Amino acid sequence: MTVRIAMLTCRLVLASSRNCERVIPSATVVSKKSYSTTTENEKTYDVIIAGGGMVGTTLACAIANNQKLAGKKILLLEGNVKQEYTPQEQYSNRVVALNQQTRTLLSSIGAWKHIEAVRYSPVRQMQVWDACSDAVITFNENLLCKELAYIVENDLLIHAINKQLAEKENVTLIYNSKVANVELLQTGVEFVTIQLQSGEQYRTRLLVGADGVNSLVRKAMGVNYLNWQYNQLGIVATVKLSEPTKNVVAWQRFLPTGPIALLPLTDSLSSLVWSVTKEKAKELLKISEEEFVDRINEALWQIYPKSSIVESGMYGFQQLLTRLALKTNASRQMPPSMEAIVEGSRAAFPLGFGHASSYVQSGAVLIGDAAHRVHPLAGQGVNLGFGDVAELTQILAEASVNGSHLNDMYYLRTYETLRQRHNVPIMFAIDGLHRFYQHTAAPIVLGRSLGLQLVDALPPIKKLLMQQAAGNNMFLKCFHWGTYRM
Protein backbone atom coordinates (compact mmCIF):
# COMPACT_ATOMS: atom_id res chain seq x y z
CA MET A 1 0.00 0.00 0.00
CA THR A 2 2.98 2.32 0.76
CA VAL A 3 4.28 1.70 -2.75
CA ARG A 4 0.83 2.53 -4.20
CA ILE A 5 0.66 5.81 -2.30
CA ALA A 6 4.23 6.72 -3.38
CA MET A 7 3.35 6.00 -7.01
CA LEU A 8 0.17 8.07 -6.75
CA THR A 9 2.16 10.96 -5.25
CA CYS A 10 4.52 10.87 -8.24
CA ARG A 11 1.50 10.91 -10.57
CA LEU A 12 0.25 13.99 -8.73
CA VAL A 13 3.34 15.94 -9.80
CA LEU A 14 3.66 14.57 -13.32
CA ALA A 15 0.06 14.14 -14.43
CA SER A 16 -1.19 16.12 -17.36
CA SER A 17 -4.27 18.27 -16.95
CA ARG A 18 -7.57 16.43 -17.28
CA ASN A 19 -9.89 19.17 -16.11
CA CYS A 20 -13.60 18.92 -16.60
CA GLU A 21 -14.58 22.56 -16.84
CA ARG A 22 -18.03 24.10 -17.19
CA VAL A 23 -19.40 27.37 -18.51
CA ILE A 24 -22.45 28.82 -16.82
CA PRO A 25 -24.92 31.05 -18.60
CA SER A 26 -25.14 34.74 -17.75
CA ALA A 27 -27.62 36.10 -15.24
CA THR A 28 -28.74 39.05 -13.17
CA VAL A 29 -26.61 40.66 -10.47
CA VAL A 30 -27.75 41.39 -6.92
CA SER A 31 -25.36 43.10 -4.47
CA LYS A 32 -25.42 43.10 -0.68
CA LYS A 33 -23.48 46.35 -0.42
CA SER A 34 -23.06 48.54 -3.45
CA TYR A 35 -19.81 50.14 -4.48
CA SER A 36 -20.30 52.50 -7.40
CA THR A 37 -18.94 51.04 -10.63
CA THR A 38 -18.79 54.31 -12.56
CA THR A 39 -14.98 54.59 -12.37
CA GLU A 40 -12.24 52.07 -12.92
CA ASN A 41 -10.85 52.61 -9.42
CA GLU A 42 -14.12 51.65 -7.77
CA LYS A 43 -14.14 48.38 -9.71
CA THR A 44 -10.86 47.40 -8.09
CA TYR A 45 -10.79 45.11 -5.06
CA ASP A 46 -8.00 43.81 -2.88
CA VAL A 47 -9.45 40.29 -3.01
CA ILE A 48 -12.01 38.74 -5.33
CA ILE A 49 -13.38 35.33 -4.33
CA ALA A 50 -14.96 33.32 -7.13
CA GLY A 51 -17.43 30.93 -5.51
CA GLY A 52 -19.81 31.71 -2.68
CA GLY A 53 -20.29 28.24 -1.24
CA MET A 54 -19.46 27.29 2.32
CA VAL A 55 -15.69 27.63 1.88
CA GLY A 56 -15.64 30.79 -0.25
CA THR A 57 -18.13 32.63 1.96
CA THR A 58 -16.23 31.66 5.09
CA LEU A 59 -13.01 33.03 3.59
CA ALA A 60 -14.68 36.37 2.80
CA CYS A 61 -15.94 36.56 6.37
CA ALA A 62 -12.61 35.48 7.87
CA ILE A 63 -10.62 38.10 5.93
CA ALA A 64 -13.12 40.83 6.80
CA ASN A 65 -13.01 39.73 10.45
CA ASN A 66 -9.19 39.85 10.69
CA GLN A 67 -7.92 43.10 12.20
CA LYS A 68 -4.62 42.80 10.34
CA LEU A 69 -6.57 42.91 7.07
CA ALA A 70 -8.83 45.80 8.10
CA GLY A 71 -9.81 48.03 5.22
CA LYS A 72 -9.27 45.45 2.48
CA LYS A 73 -12.06 45.53 -0.09
CA ILE A 74 -13.45 42.08 -0.87
CA LEU A 75 -15.73 41.00 -3.69
CA LEU A 76 -17.53 37.67 -3.34
CA LEU A 77 -19.05 36.20 -6.52
CA GLU A 78 -21.83 33.68 -5.93
CA GLY A 79 -22.99 31.86 -9.04
CA ASN A 80 -26.41 30.94 -7.67
CA VAL A 81 -29.42 33.16 -7.05
CA LYS A 82 -30.04 34.43 -3.54
CA GLN A 83 -32.13 32.07 -1.45
CA GLU A 84 -33.76 32.97 1.82
CA TYR A 85 -33.26 30.47 4.62
CA THR A 86 -36.31 29.31 6.52
CA PRO A 87 -35.89 26.65 9.22
CA GLN A 88 -37.88 23.52 8.35
CA GLU A 89 -39.07 20.79 10.66
CA GLN A 90 -37.86 18.20 8.16
CA TYR A 91 -34.09 17.74 8.02
CA SER A 92 -32.27 18.25 4.74
CA ASN A 93 -30.49 15.22 3.25
CA ARG A 94 -27.48 17.46 2.56
CA VAL A 95 -25.46 17.61 5.76
CA VAL A 96 -21.85 18.10 6.77
CA ALA A 97 -20.06 16.83 9.85
CA LEU A 98 -17.64 19.44 11.08
CA ASN A 99 -14.54 18.64 13.14
CA GLN A 100 -13.31 20.65 16.12
CA GLN A 101 -10.94 22.77 14.03
CA THR A 102 -13.78 23.83 11.75
CA ARG A 103 -16.02 24.66 14.70
CA THR A 104 -13.24 26.86 16.10
CA LEU A 105 -12.99 28.68 12.77
CA LEU A 106 -16.75 29.22 12.59
CA SER A 107 -16.81 30.43 16.20
CA SER A 108 -13.99 32.90 15.46
CA ILE A 109 -16.04 34.60 12.73
CA GLY A 110 -19.23 34.53 14.83
CA ALA A 111 -21.14 32.02 12.70
CA TRP A 112 -21.36 29.13 15.16
CA LYS A 113 -23.77 30.97 17.47
CA HIS A 114 -26.32 31.11 14.64
CA ILE A 115 -26.03 27.34 14.16
CA GLU A 116 -26.48 26.74 17.89
CA ALA A 117 -29.59 28.91 17.82
CA VAL A 118 -31.23 26.56 15.31
CA ARG A 119 -29.96 22.96 15.58
CA TYR A 120 -27.02 20.64 15.21
CA SER A 121 -26.20 17.15 16.42
CA PRO A 122 -22.98 16.20 18.23
CA VAL A 123 -21.11 12.97 17.49
CA ARG A 124 -19.69 11.60 20.75
CA GLN A 125 -18.67 8.12 19.63
CA MET A 126 -17.68 6.38 16.40
CA GLN A 127 -17.66 2.72 15.44
CA VAL A 128 -16.12 1.37 12.23
CA TRP A 129 -16.21 -2.32 11.33
CA ASP A 130 -15.47 -4.71 8.48
CA ALA A 131 -18.23 -6.86 6.97
CA CYS A 132 -15.68 -9.46 5.84
CA SER A 133 -14.27 -10.10 9.32
CA ASP A 134 -14.96 -9.44 13.00
CA ALA A 135 -12.55 -6.49 13.08
CA VAL A 136 -13.95 -3.35 14.66
CA ILE A 137 -12.60 -0.10 16.03
CA THR A 138 -14.39 2.33 18.33
CA PHE A 139 -13.45 5.89 19.23
CA ASN A 140 -14.29 7.77 22.40
CA GLU A 141 -16.01 4.76 23.92
CA ASN A 142 -15.05 6.06 27.37
CA LEU A 143 -16.02 9.65 26.44
CA LEU A 144 -12.46 10.87 26.90
CA CYS A 145 -13.44 13.93 24.90
CA LYS A 146 -16.87 15.47 24.73
CA GLU A 147 -17.55 15.68 20.99
CA LEU A 148 -15.83 14.25 17.94
CA ALA A 149 -17.87 16.03 15.28
CA TYR A 150 -20.96 18.17 14.72
CA ILE A 151 -23.64 17.33 12.15
CA VAL A 152 -25.01 20.47 10.48
CA GLU A 153 -27.28 20.90 7.46
CA ASN A 154 -25.63 22.59 4.48
CA ASP A 155 -28.23 25.31 4.08
CA LEU A 156 -28.12 26.17 7.79
CA LEU A 157 -24.34 26.45 7.68
CA ILE A 158 -24.48 28.80 4.67
CA HIS A 159 -27.18 30.85 6.41
CA ALA A 160 -25.06 31.21 9.56
CA ILE A 161 -22.00 32.39 7.63
CA ASN A 162 -24.02 34.78 5.46
CA LYS A 163 -25.60 36.28 8.56
CA GLN A 164 -22.16 37.27 9.80
CA LEU A 165 -21.07 38.38 6.35
CA ALA A 166 -23.96 40.85 6.21
CA GLU A 167 -22.29 42.78 9.03
CA LYS A 168 -19.03 43.28 7.10
CA GLU A 169 -18.99 46.72 5.45
CA ASN A 170 -15.91 45.98 3.33
CA VAL A 171 -17.45 42.96 1.56
CA THR A 172 -19.53 43.16 -1.60
CA LEU A 173 -21.55 40.06 -2.42
CA ILE A 174 -22.92 39.60 -5.95
CA TYR A 175 -25.41 36.79 -6.49
CA ASN A 176 -26.04 35.04 -9.78
CA SER A 177 -22.64 36.18 -11.03
CA LYS A 178 -21.30 33.92 -13.76
CA VAL A 179 -17.59 34.24 -14.51
CA ALA A 180 -16.91 34.37 -18.25
CA ASN A 181 -13.17 35.09 -18.43
CA VAL A 182 -10.12 35.44 -16.20
CA GLU A 183 -6.85 37.20 -17.11
CA LEU A 184 -4.08 36.51 -14.62
CA LEU A 185 -1.05 38.70 -13.91
CA GLN A 186 1.47 39.10 -16.69
CA THR A 187 4.66 41.11 -17.06
CA GLY A 188 3.82 44.77 -16.62
CA VAL A 189 0.26 44.04 -15.48
CA GLU A 190 -0.53 44.88 -11.86
CA PHE A 191 -4.03 43.42 -11.48
CA VAL A 192 -5.94 40.25 -12.31
CA THR A 193 -8.99 40.99 -14.45
CA ILE A 194 -12.19 39.00 -14.15
CA GLN A 195 -15.16 39.41 -16.47
CA LEU A 196 -18.70 38.27 -15.73
CA GLN A 197 -21.12 37.00 -18.35
CA SER A 198 -23.19 40.09 -17.60
CA GLY A 199 -20.34 42.14 -19.10
CA GLU A 200 -19.14 43.63 -15.81
CA GLN A 201 -15.36 43.66 -15.27
CA TYR A 202 -13.45 43.81 -11.99
CA ARG A 203 -9.80 44.01 -11.06
CA THR A 204 -7.98 42.59 -8.08
CA ARG A 205 -4.51 41.93 -6.75
CA LEU A 206 -5.58 38.47 -5.57
CA LEU A 207 -8.17 36.17 -7.13
CA VAL A 208 -9.27 33.23 -5.00
CA GLY A 209 -10.72 30.20 -6.76
CA ALA A 210 -13.37 28.70 -4.48
CA ASP A 211 -15.52 27.69 -7.43
CA GLY A 212 -15.67 23.95 -6.85
CA VAL A 213 -14.61 20.78 -8.61
CA ASN A 214 -15.04 22.25 -12.11
CA SER A 215 -13.14 25.43 -11.22
CA LEU A 216 -12.85 28.04 -13.98
CA VAL A 217 -10.12 29.79 -11.99
CA ARG A 218 -8.09 26.58 -11.91
CA LYS A 219 -8.48 26.27 -15.67
CA ALA A 220 -7.27 29.86 -16.16
CA MET A 221 -4.24 29.11 -13.97
CA GLY A 222 -3.31 26.24 -16.29
CA VAL A 223 -2.14 23.97 -13.48
CA ASN A 224 -2.05 20.19 -13.83
CA TYR A 225 -5.08 18.51 -12.29
CA LEU A 226 -4.86 14.85 -11.34
CA ASN A 227 -8.31 13.31 -11.15
CA TRP A 228 -10.27 10.10 -11.56
CA GLN A 229 -13.77 8.80 -10.97
CA TYR A 230 -14.48 5.93 -8.58
CA ASN A 231 -17.35 4.47 -10.63
CA GLN A 232 -19.43 4.94 -7.50
CA LEU A 233 -22.33 7.10 -6.40
CA GLY A 234 -22.98 8.23 -2.86
CA ILE A 235 -26.62 7.67 -1.93
CA VAL A 236 -27.96 9.99 0.76
CA ALA A 237 -31.24 9.97 2.65
CA THR A 238 -32.74 10.93 5.99
CA VAL A 239 -33.76 7.73 7.78
CA LYS A 240 -36.09 7.05 10.70
CA LEU A 241 -34.86 4.67 13.40
CA SER A 242 -37.03 1.75 14.47
CA GLU A 243 -37.15 3.17 17.98
CA PRO A 244 -35.88 6.35 19.64
CA THR A 245 -32.43 6.10 21.21
CA LYS A 246 -29.66 8.26 22.57
CA ASN A 247 -28.40 8.86 19.07
CA VAL A 248 -24.83 10.16 19.43
CA VAL A 249 -22.87 7.44 17.63
CA ALA A 250 -21.58 7.64 14.05
CA TRP A 251 -21.52 4.23 12.37
CA GLN A 252 -19.61 3.02 9.34
CA ARG A 253 -19.47 -0.48 7.92
CA PHE A 254 -17.13 -1.43 5.08
CA LEU A 255 -19.05 -3.68 2.70
CA PRO A 256 -17.58 -5.47 -0.33
CA THR A 257 -19.58 -3.03 -2.49
CA GLY A 258 -18.57 0.12 -0.58
CA PRO A 259 -18.99 1.73 2.86
CA ILE A 260 -22.34 2.57 4.43
CA ALA A 261 -22.53 5.24 7.12
CA LEU A 262 -25.09 6.65 9.55
CA LEU A 263 -24.71 10.09 11.14
CA PRO A 264 -26.94 11.11 14.09
CA LEU A 265 -29.49 13.90 13.68
CA THR A 266 -32.05 13.42 16.48
CA ASP A 267 -33.09 10.61 18.82
CA SER A 268 -35.15 9.14 16.00
CA LEU A 269 -33.41 10.36 12.81
CA SER A 270 -30.05 9.74 11.15
CA SER A 271 -28.42 10.82 7.91
CA LEU A 272 -27.44 8.00 5.54
CA VAL A 273 -24.42 8.04 3.21
CA TRP A 274 -24.01 4.82 1.22
CA SER A 275 -21.27 4.43 -1.41
CA VAL A 276 -22.17 1.87 -4.08
CA THR A 277 -21.40 1.17 -7.73
CA LYS A 278 -23.28 3.21 -10.30
CA GLU A 279 -25.26 0.17 -11.38
CA LYS A 280 -26.34 -0.66 -7.83
CA ALA A 281 -27.13 3.01 -7.16
CA LYS A 282 -29.52 3.16 -10.09
CA GLU A 283 -31.29 0.11 -8.71
CA LEU A 284 -31.48 1.52 -5.16
CA LEU A 285 -32.92 4.80 -6.42
CA LYS A 286 -35.70 3.04 -8.34
CA ILE A 287 -37.00 0.58 -5.76
CA SER A 288 -39.80 1.45 -3.34
CA GLU A 289 -39.00 3.21 -0.08
CA GLU A 290 -39.99 0.09 1.88
CA GLU A 291 -37.60 -2.10 -0.09
CA PHE A 292 -34.89 0.56 0.18
CA VAL A 293 -35.19 0.47 3.98
CA ASP A 294 -34.86 -3.33 3.88
CA ARG A 295 -31.67 -2.96 1.84
CA ILE A 296 -30.24 -0.51 4.40
CA ASN A 297 -30.93 -2.90 7.28
CA GLU A 298 -29.44 -5.76 5.29
CA ALA A 299 -26.28 -3.73 4.61
CA LEU A 300 -25.89 -2.94 8.30
CA TRP A 301 -26.79 -6.33 9.72
CA GLN A 302 -26.12 -9.04 7.12
CA ILE A 303 -23.52 -11.64 8.10
CA TYR A 304 -21.13 -12.23 5.21
CA PRO A 305 -19.21 -15.50 4.70
CA LYS A 306 -15.82 -15.33 6.43
CA SER A 307 -12.64 -16.99 5.27
CA SER A 308 -11.19 -19.67 7.53
CA ILE A 309 -7.78 -18.05 6.99
CA VAL A 310 -9.10 -14.73 8.27
CA GLU A 311 -10.87 -16.31 11.25
CA SER A 312 -7.80 -18.36 12.24
CA GLY A 313 -5.53 -15.33 11.93
CA MET A 314 -7.89 -13.16 13.94
CA TYR A 315 -8.23 -15.81 16.66
CA GLY A 316 -4.46 -16.18 16.95
CA PHE A 317 -3.97 -12.44 17.10
CA GLN A 318 -6.66 -12.14 19.78
CA GLN A 319 -4.87 -14.76 21.86
CA LEU A 320 -1.63 -12.79 21.51
CA LEU A 321 -3.34 -9.60 22.64
CA THR A 322 -4.79 -11.43 25.63
CA ARG A 323 -1.34 -12.64 26.68
CA LEU A 324 -0.13 -9.07 26.44
CA ALA A 325 -3.06 -7.95 28.61
CA LEU A 326 -4.53 -5.90 25.75
CA LYS A 327 -8.28 -5.85 25.21
CA THR A 328 -10.34 -5.13 22.08
CA ASN A 329 -14.03 -4.79 21.29
CA ALA A 330 -14.85 -4.20 24.95
CA SER A 331 -17.57 -1.70 24.04
CA ARG A 332 -18.72 -3.04 20.68
CA GLN A 333 -22.30 -2.02 19.95
CA MET A 334 -24.87 -3.07 17.41
CA PRO A 335 -26.09 -0.39 15.01
CA PRO A 336 -29.72 0.74 15.06
CA SER A 337 -32.23 -0.67 12.60
CA MET A 338 -34.21 1.51 10.22
CA GLU A 339 -38.00 1.79 10.10
CA ALA A 340 -38.48 4.19 7.16
CA ILE A 341 -36.91 7.02 5.20
CA VAL A 342 -38.18 10.58 5.09
CA GLU A 343 -40.20 10.95 1.92
CA GLY A 344 -38.30 12.57 -0.92
CA SER A 345 -34.94 12.55 0.85
CA ARG A 346 -33.30 9.88 -1.31
CA ALA A 347 -30.68 11.24 -3.75
CA ALA A 348 -27.25 10.42 -5.17
CA PHE A 349 -24.03 12.16 -6.19
CA PRO A 350 -20.88 10.99 -8.06
CA LEU A 351 -17.66 10.17 -6.21
CA GLY A 352 -14.18 11.00 -7.41
CA PHE A 353 -10.66 12.16 -6.61
CA GLY A 354 -9.00 15.37 -7.73
CA HIS A 355 -5.95 17.40 -6.82
CA ALA A 356 -4.29 20.45 -8.38
CA SER A 357 -0.52 20.10 -8.67
CA SER A 358 -0.22 23.75 -7.65
CA TYR A 359 -2.57 25.83 -5.53
CA VAL A 360 -1.11 29.21 -6.56
CA GLN A 361 -0.25 31.18 -9.67
CA SER A 362 0.58 34.84 -10.30
CA GLY A 363 -2.24 36.68 -8.57
CA ALA A 364 -4.41 33.59 -8.00
CA VAL A 365 -4.87 30.93 -5.34
CA LEU A 366 -7.13 27.86 -4.98
CA ILE A 367 -9.04 26.67 -1.91
CA GLY A 368 -11.58 23.95 -1.16
CA ASP A 369 -12.91 21.68 -3.89
CA ALA A 370 -11.22 23.81 -6.56
CA ALA A 371 -7.91 22.53 -5.18
CA HIS A 372 -8.79 19.06 -3.92
CA ARG A 373 -11.56 16.47 -3.92
CA VAL A 374 -11.70 13.24 -1.89
CA HIS A 375 -13.87 10.17 -1.40
CA PRO A 376 -16.47 10.73 1.36
CA LEU A 377 -15.58 7.55 3.28
CA ALA A 378 -13.16 9.58 5.41
CA GLY A 379 -15.43 12.57 5.53
CA GLN A 380 -12.74 15.22 5.05
CA GLY A 381 -13.98 17.09 1.98
CA VAL A 382 -15.16 20.41 3.37
CA ASN A 383 -13.01 20.20 6.51
CA LEU A 384 -9.93 20.30 4.29
CA GLY A 385 -11.44 23.35 2.62
CA PHE A 386 -12.04 25.10 5.93
CA GLY A 387 -8.43 24.31 6.82
CA ASP A 388 -7.41 26.13 3.62
CA VAL A 389 -9.45 29.14 4.74
CA ALA A 390 -7.79 29.33 8.16
CA GLU A 391 -4.28 28.98 6.71
CA LEU A 392 -4.77 31.44 3.84
CA THR A 393 -6.29 34.08 6.12
CA GLN A 394 -3.32 33.86 8.46
CA ILE A 395 -0.82 34.03 5.59
CA LEU A 396 -2.52 37.06 4.04
CA ALA A 397 -2.55 38.79 7.43
CA GLU A 398 1.20 38.23 7.75
CA ALA A 399 1.77 39.65 4.26
CA SER A 400 -0.27 42.74 5.12
CA VAL A 401 1.53 43.34 8.42
CA ASN A 402 4.89 43.03 6.68
CA GLY A 403 3.92 45.59 4.06
CA SER A 404 3.66 43.15 1.15
CA HIS A 405 0.94 42.91 -1.46
CA LEU A 406 -1.59 40.14 -0.92
CA ASN A 407 -0.42 38.51 -4.15
CA ASP A 408 3.23 38.33 -3.06
CA MET A 409 4.37 34.91 -4.31
CA TYR A 410 6.53 34.28 -1.25
CA TYR A 411 3.45 34.25 0.95
CA LEU A 412 1.28 32.40 -1.57
CA ARG A 413 3.94 29.69 -1.93
CA THR A 414 4.07 29.42 1.85
CA TYR A 415 0.31 28.78 1.90
CA GLU A 416 0.65 26.19 -0.86
CA THR A 417 3.47 24.36 0.92
CA LEU A 418 1.69 24.21 4.26
CA ARG A 419 -1.61 23.04 2.81
CA GLN A 420 -0.16 20.47 0.44
CA ARG A 421 1.91 18.99 3.26
CA HIS A 422 -1.33 18.61 5.16
CA ASN A 423 -3.74 17.67 2.37
CA VAL A 424 -1.76 15.31 0.14
CA PRO A 425 -0.97 12.60 2.75
CA ILE A 426 -4.58 12.63 3.95
CA MET A 427 -5.97 12.45 0.42
CA PHE A 428 -3.80 9.54 -0.68
CA ALA A 429 -4.35 7.71 2.61
CA ILE A 430 -8.10 8.03 1.99
CA ASP A 431 -7.72 6.84 -1.59
CA GLY A 432 -5.54 3.93 -0.44
CA LEU A 433 -8.06 3.01 2.25
CA HIS A 434 -10.86 3.04 -0.32
CA ARG A 435 -8.91 0.71 -2.61
CA PHE A 436 -7.79 -1.49 0.28
CA TYR A 437 -11.37 -2.16 1.38
CA GLN A 438 -12.53 -2.93 -2.15
CA HIS A 439 -10.68 -6.24 -2.08
CA THR A 440 -12.11 -9.41 -0.55
CA ALA A 441 -9.06 -11.70 -0.97
CA ALA A 442 -8.34 -13.44 2.35
CA PRO A 443 -4.74 -12.15 2.80
CA ILE A 444 -5.88 -8.53 2.28
CA VAL A 445 -8.89 -8.89 4.57
CA LEU A 446 -6.67 -10.46 7.23
CA GLY A 447 -4.05 -7.71 6.93
CA ARG A 448 -6.50 -4.84 7.30
CA SER A 449 -8.38 -6.64 10.10
CA LEU A 450 -5.23 -7.18 12.15
CA GLY A 451 -4.26 -3.56 11.69
CA LEU A 452 -7.67 -2.37 12.81
CA GLN A 453 -7.61 -4.60 15.88
CA LEU A 454 -4.09 -3.54 16.82
CA VAL A 455 -5.04 0.13 16.86
CA ASP A 456 -8.23 -0.65 18.80
CA ALA A 457 -6.18 -2.50 21.43
CA LEU A 458 -3.83 0.41 22.14
CA PRO A 459 -5.69 3.09 24.16
CA PRO A 460 -2.78 5.58 24.20
CA ILE A 461 -2.64 5.61 20.40
CA LYS A 462 -6.43 5.92 20.14
CA LYS A 463 -6.44 8.78 22.64
CA LEU A 464 -3.68 10.56 20.72
CA LEU A 465 -5.55 10.07 17.45
CA MET A 466 -8.76 11.47 18.95
CA GLN A 467 -6.94 14.51 20.31
CA GLN A 468 -5.39 15.23 16.93
CA ALA A 469 -8.56 14.42 14.98
CA ALA A 470 -9.71 17.94 15.75
CA GLY A 471 -7.46 19.16 12.99
CA ASN A 472 -4.29 17.55 11.81
CA ASN A 473 -3.90 13.80 12.30
CA MET A 474 -4.21 11.87 9.05
CA PHE A 475 -4.76 8.41 10.48
CA LEU A 476 -7.91 9.04 12.46
CA LYS A 477 -9.19 11.15 9.62
CA CYS A 478 -9.21 8.00 7.55
CA PHE A 479 -11.91 6.74 9.90
CA HIS A 480 -13.31 10.13 10.91
CA TRP A 481 -16.72 11.18 9.64
CA GLY A 482 -15.87 14.83 9.11
CA THR A 483 -18.01 15.76 6.10
CA TYR A 484 -20.30 13.73 3.92
CA ARG A 485 -21.20 16.00 1.12
CA MET A 486 -23.05 16.14 -2.16
pLDDT at residue 20, rounded to an integer? 38
What is the structure's pLDDT at 143?
Answer: 64
How much is the mean pLDDT over the chain?
85
Does residue 31 surpass a pLDDT of 80?
no
- Among residues 422, 451, 434, the alpha carbon closest in space to that of 230 is found at 434
How many domains, in total, are found in the chain? 1
We report the CATH number of the domain holding residue 397 as 3.50.50.60
Whether pLDDT at 261 is above 50:
yes
Q: Give the pTM.
A: 0.86
Fill in the amino acid letter for 34: S
Range 220-242 average pLDDT: 95
Higher pLDDT, 356 or 377: 356
Percent of the chain with pLDDT over 70: 84
Residue 344 lies in a domain: yes
pLDDT of residue 138: 86
Residue 467 has a pLDDT of 59
pLDDT at 332 over 70: yes
Instruction: Compute the CA torsion angle 316, 322, 325, 326 (nearest 10 deg).
Output: 70
Instruction: Provide the domain limits for residue 261.
Output: 44-470
Instruction: Tell me: pLDDT of 2 over 50.
Output: no
Residue 486 has pLDDT above 60, yes or no: no
CB atoms within 10 A of CB 163: 17
Is the pLDDT at 21 greater than 50? The verdict is no
Give me the sign of the Cα torsion angle 412, 414, 417, 421: negative
Give the DSSP letter of residue 483: B
- Has residue 13 been placed in a domain? no
Whether 343 and 91 have beta carbons less than 8 Å apart is answered as: no
Q: Which residue has the higher pLDDT, 457 or 253?
A: 253
Domain contains 92? yes
Least confident span in 286-295, 320-329, 349-358, 423-432: 320-329
- Euclidean distance between CA atoms 184 and 195, whole angstroms: 12
Q: Is residue 201 part of a domain?
A: yes
pLDDT of 7 > 80? The answer is no
| Res. 460: pLDDT tops 80 | no
Burial, 224: exposed, middle or buried (Cβ in 10 Å; 0-12, 13-18, 19+)? middle
Q: pLDDT grade, residue 474 (50/70/90)?
A: very low
- Cα 207 vs. chain centroid, distance in angstroms? 22
What average pLDDT does this structure show over 321-347? Answer: 85
Considering the domain boundaries, does residue 28 fall inside one?
A: no
Interval 129-150 mean pLDDT = 83
Answer whether residue 485 is part of any domain.
no
Distance separating alpha carbons of residues 412 and 364, to the nearest angstrom:
9
Where residue 454 falls among pLDDT bands split at 50, 70, 90? confident
Residue 199 resides in a domain: yes
Alpha-carbon span 143 to 158, nearest angstrom:
30
Task: Please check the confidence at residue 91 and state whether its pLDDT lies above 50.
Answer: yes
Q: Would you say residue 151 lies in a domain?
A: yes
Give me the half-sphere count of Cα atoms (radius 13 Å) on the Cβ side of residue 191. 15
